[in-house]
A and B are shown apart, each in its own frame.
Chain A
């Protein structure tokens, strides 16, 4: 079955450093991959979408890579700030083996310390 894994352990980093979150998947060839941010007790908020033919995408301090050979996406936040502390969700979609539904990872919690 299709499986998506994010680091279940929280990531703790110092303010100003680059945070790197990992998303790995198996038994699936998605057409695109999305990242969402979720704050405690709130709904997720869309951040970035990257397609299978794109290697990298940037938005302000955010950068996402998508390696379809390794079946992995990396999500980077540069010059991290305490306000970046949240849970980040990796989401897969599209692809020939998918019914059109999105597949959500369990999320990685990022804590940025001042």
Chain B
């Protein structure tokens, strides 16, 4: 079955560490996205990519980095510069210019 796989499901980080969240899709979708979800707030866009080897900052890109070397993969690195990284991170993809998103199951990051 086609879908989006995020890993790990749960991740703990010590302050000062960088961590990378994996996102892989086998839907042949062109566009991929990373969102952050905090309690009581709507999803906020971190980064998005509409084509391989190209990506754009979203609304809250500071402290995060991404790469898009393959169509199927869009990993997100949460760097030590992100001051409040504890959150639920969601990866999504969409086909071409369509804006209906298919989401992964999410990764919950906790800073100890």
Question: CB within 8 Å of A: which of B1-53?
Answer: 4, 6, 35, 40-45, 48
| Residue B84 is within 8 A (CB to CB) of chain A in the complex | no
Interface residues on B, range: 20 to 34
Per a CB cutoff under 8 Å, which of B41, B45, B88 touches A106?
B41
- In the complex, which residues of chain B have a beta carbon less than 8 angstroms from the beta carbon of A41? 88, 105-106, 108
State the interface size on chain A (CB cutoff 8 A).
22
Give the shortest distance, in Å, between B1 (CB) and chain A (any CB): 14
Minimum C-beta distance from B54 to chain A (A): 14
Q: How far apart are B88's CB and chain A's nearest CB, in angstroms?
A: 8
Give CA–CA (A43, B40) in the complex, Å: 16
Against A, the Cβ 8 Å flags (1 = close, 0 = not) of B89-100 are 010100000011
Contacts beyond the supplied A41-B108, A101-B48: 12 A-B pairs with Cβ under 8 Å: A41-B105, A41-B106, A42-B106, A43-B6, A43-B92, A43-B105, A44-B90, A89-B42, A93-B99, A94-B99, A102-B101, A106-B41
